[in-house]
């Protein structure tokens, strides 16, 4: 099949390379000339495990091409995926200007019976809006196919999705057949496609993210309670998560959720609900709790040090989660801004996101290439992102490097008793209980 993917971000690039790897001919279009030039040279503009091999293999096999030329790309494509960004506006609503521009850009070039698929996360009603925008085309088919991949595991998520949600007009047998054929190779072991109407598909994506965010925010509140009552969040999580009705995932306390999805999707869902006269109290509070939680690491530093003014603070991790270079809405950003505002100096290490941190803070923080250079002479080390390489560090080396033996473990990956036995002042999140 001839496929065009608009947008070479985390979703677009994985989608394009994934479909190319299944034998389709895929054209990746982006408005960002620099990204397209990089991709043509075989460079991958983002860090995503396994993506470089996948892209290079399919690029070399000529099944995956990159261009900024929209007209010819759209004209030869049976299916057009829109994967452009949908960031939050100031009022929390989704900014759909990228989607609108993409729609206007493709309209004059769509071939007969082109299937246009919205993969970006969009508020309910966007499918209708897109149909209206493309209404001048007599035979276009407009579908919703929200993406559920996880950064850090996106390549595997493409190949083995939990489910493929497709929102479609029930009378559109042509588009249903096209999507079935396109996704058939991913459904050989079991049918993963969940068919529904477009509004339900749009809502499914935002509700899924909001529910995951809700679990995280609730556990962060429980962690604060643990610290007050002498309970341990590890134990509570294990006990609660072993209930088969609840399950163990997304129950980890930490410095608040981040990334380009949860924060904006929770807010966008609240906004959409309110425009329809419905108040989603749980979702609203989920967001508020998360904003509050972003302050937790700075507060633990204030408790552990005489003053932040003039202190040198080392951070391990700036990406919003491990195995990605994405720092959008990372809790590390809030922490760094707070530390700088209170007169501290900040030195950061991240295995993949260091360059993004340099660009974001424009010389206001020091970014180091070796993890152990960060704590050298620092008053405290804060673990913000639980990259595997931070999980079992050389504590003796850390003890020697740090000016004060202060460890703040924002992800509860180190063992409190162990760290304290080695002479560190250790604080995790919600670790008020006794080791049993
Ligand atoms: P991104 O910001 O990484 O990439 C978007 C890309 O689209 C950019 O390269 C941009 O230059 C390009 N673009 C913008 N307008 C364009 C146009 N008119 N034509 C062609 N290209 C254009 O975004 P992302 O993280 O890949 O997310 C894309 C969408 O997918 C968002 O709606 C997001 O919420 C959703 N989503 C993201 C993830 C994730 O983990 N990142 C997961 C699921 C869903």
Residues 238 and 172 in one domain: no
pLDDT (tens digit per residue) in 262-296: 999 999 999 999 999 999 999 999 999 999 999 99
Pairing of strands 25-29, 115-118: unpaired
Any catalytic annotation for residue 261? yes
| Residue 76 placed within a domain | yes
Atom 10 in ligand 1: which residue has the minimum CA distance? Answer: 7
Cα of 176 to ligand 1 centre, how many Å? 24
Q: pLDDT tens-digit profile of 235-253?
A: 999 999 999 999 999 999 9
Q: Could you tell me the distance, in angstroms and rounded to a whole number, from the CA of residue 267 to the centre of ligand 1?
A: 18
Please check whether residues 179 and 267 belong to one and the same domain.
Answer: no
Give the pairing type, strands 79-82 and 2-6: parallel
Among the candidates 146, 169, 196, a domain finishes at 196
Q: Contact, 45 vs 8, CB < 8 A? A: yes
**Residue whose C-alpha is closest to residue 272's, from 133, 148, 145, 94:** 94
**Distance of alpha carbon 358 from alpha carbon 355, whole angstroms:** 5
Among 13, 49, 84, 152, which is best to mutate for testing ligand 1, by the most ligand atoms less than 8 A from CB? 84
Does the beta carbon of 9 lie inside 6 Å of ligand 1? yes
Residues 249 and 123 in one domain: no
* Residue 73 CB–ligand 1 contact under 6 Å: no
Residues 191 and 239 in one domain: no
166 and 241 within one domain: no
193's enclosing H/E stretch is strand 193-196
- Burial readout 161-199 (b: 16 or more C-beta within 10 A, e: otherwise): beebbbbbeeeeeebbebbeebbeebeeeeeebeebebe
Residue 104: exposed, middle, or buried by beta-carbon count in 10 A (0-12, 13-18, 19+)?
exposed
Q: Identify which of 431, 436, 434, 435 has the alpha carbon closest to the alpha carbon of residue 228.
A: 431
Residue 432 has pLDDT above 90, yes or no: no
Which tokens is 383 given? 């673990």
Catalytic residue among 4, 226, 261, 270: 261
| DSSP-derived 3-state class of residue 111 | coil
How many structural domains does the chain have?
2
* 10-38 residue pLDDT tens: 999 999 999 999 999 999 999 999 999 99
Q: Which tokens belong to 146?
A: 């929200």
Residue 213 placed within a domain: no
In this structure, the answer to whether residues 8 and 51 fall within a common structural domain is yes
- Predicted confidence at residue 436, as pLDDT, reads 64
Place of tokens 């293999």: 57
Provide the residue range defining the domain that includes 397: 231-427
Q: CA torsion 385→390→392→397, rounded to 10°?
A: -130
Is 223 among the domain residues?
A: no
C-alpha 298/C-alpha 302 separation (Å) is 6
The alpha carbon of residue 326 and the mean position of all alpha carbons in its chain are separated, in whole angstroms, by: 7
Evaluate: CB of 149 within 6 angstroms of ligand 1: yes
Q: Which helix (H) or strand (E) holds 316?
A: strand 312-316
70 and 185 housed in the same domain: yes
CATH code (residue 300): 3.40.50.720
- Rounded to an integer, the average pLDDT of 160-182 is 98
Confidence of residue 433 (pLDDT cuts 50, 70, 90): confident
The pLDDT value recorded for residue 75 is: 98
Q: What is the DSSP pairing of strand 366-368 with strand 380-383?
A: unpaired
Residue 46 CA: which ligand 1 atom is closest?
Answer: 3
Same domain, 77 and 27: yes
| Res 435: pLDDT | 64
- For the Cβ of 12 lying below 6 angstroms from any atom of ligand 1, the answer is yes
Q: Which atom of ligand 1 is nearest to the CA of 32?
A: 11
Is residue 46 assigned to a domain? yes
Same domain assignment for residues 161 and 274: no
End-to-end CA gap in the chain: 58
Mean per-residue pLDDT, 102-121: 98
Looking at the domain assignment, is residue 214 inside a domain? no
Please report whether residue 201 resides in a domain: no
In a domain, 216, yes or no: no
pLDDT score of 2: 98
The reply to whether ligand 1 has any atom less than 6 angstroms from the CB of 101 is yes
Looking at the fold, whether 274 and 337 belong to one and the same domain comes out as yes
State if residue 85 touches ligand 1 by the CB under 6 angstroms criterion: yes
User: Could you say which of 196, 220, 241 is where a domain stops?
Assistant: 196
* Same domain assignment for residues 406 and 328: yes
Q: Is the CB of 102 within 6 Å of ligand 1?
A: yes
d(CA 425, CA 87): 40
Nearest atom (ligand 1) to Cα of 261: 34
CB 431 near ligand 1, within 6 Å? no
6, 30, 100, 265: which to mutate for ligand 1, most atoms within 8 A of CB? 30
Say if ligand 1 is within 6 A of residue 35 CB. yes
- Is a pLDDT exceeding 70 seen at residue 402? yes
Burial class (CB in 10 A: 0-12, 13-18, 19+), 396: exposed
342-396 pLDDT, tens digit per residue, is 999 999 999 999 999 999 999 999 999 999 999 999 999 999 999 999 999 999 9
Q: Which domain-ending residue is among 196, 221, 252?
A: 196
Whether 433 maps to a domain, the answer reads no
Q: For a substitution probing ligand 1, which of 4, 5, 8, 10 has the most ligand atoms within 8 Å of its CB?
A: 10
Do both 258 and 137 map to the same domain?
A: no
Residue 434 has pLDDT above 90, yes or no: no
């Amino acid at each position: 099949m001839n496929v065009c993917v608009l947008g070479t971000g985390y979703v677009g690039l994985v989608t394009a390379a994934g479909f190319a790897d299944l034998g389709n001919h895929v054209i990746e279009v982006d408005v960002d000339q620099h990204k397209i030039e990089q991709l043509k040279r075989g460079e991958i503009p983002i860090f995503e495990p396994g993506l470089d091999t996948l892209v290079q293999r399919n690029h070399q096999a000529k099944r995956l091409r990159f261009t900024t030329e929209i007209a010819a790309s759209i004209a030869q494509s049976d299916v057009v995926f829109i994967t452009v960004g949908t960031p939050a506006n100031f009022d929390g609503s989704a900014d759909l200007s990228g989607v609108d521009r993409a729609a206007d850009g493709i309209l004059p070039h769509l071939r007969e019976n082109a299937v246009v698929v919205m993969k970006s996360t969009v508020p309910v009603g966007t499918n209708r809006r897109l149909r209206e925008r493309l209404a001048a085309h007599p035979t276009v088919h407009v579908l919703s196919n929200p993406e559920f991949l996880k950064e850090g595991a996106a390549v595997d998520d493409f190949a083995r999705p939990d489910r493929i949600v497709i929102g479609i007009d029930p009378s559109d047998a042509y588009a249903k057949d096209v999507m079935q054929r396109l996704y058939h190779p991913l459904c050989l072991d079991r049918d993963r496609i969940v068919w529904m109407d477009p509004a339900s598909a749009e809502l499914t994506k935002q509700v899924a993210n909001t529910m995951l965010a809700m679990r995280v925010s609730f556990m962060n509140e429980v962690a604060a309670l643990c610290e007050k009552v002498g309970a341990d969040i590890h134990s509570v999580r294990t006990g609660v998560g072993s209930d088969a009705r609840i399950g163990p995932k997304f129950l980890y306390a930490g410095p608040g959720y981040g990334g380009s999805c949860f924060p904006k999707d929770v807010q966008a869902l609240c906004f959409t609900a309110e425009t329809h006269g419905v108040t989603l109290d749980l979702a609203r509070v989920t967001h508020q709790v998360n904003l509050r939680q972003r302050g937790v690491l700075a507060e633990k530093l204030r408790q552990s040090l005489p003053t932040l003014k003039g202190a040198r603070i080392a951070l391990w991790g700036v990406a919003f989660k491990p195995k990605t270079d994405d720092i959008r809405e990372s809790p590390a950003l809030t922490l760094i801004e707070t530390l700088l505002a209170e007169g501290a100096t900040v030195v950061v290490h991240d295995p993949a996101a260091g360059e993004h941190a340099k660009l974001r803070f424009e010389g206001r923080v020091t970014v180091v290439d070796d993890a152990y250079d960060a704590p050298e002479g620092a008053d405290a080390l804060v673990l913000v992102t639980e990259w595997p390489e931070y999980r079992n560090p050389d504590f003796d080396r850390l003890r020697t490097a740090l000016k004060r033996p202060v460890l703040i473990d924002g992800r509860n990956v180190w063992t409190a008793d162990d760290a304290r036995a080695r002479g560190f002042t250790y604080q995790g999140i919600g670790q008020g209980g006794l080791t049993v």
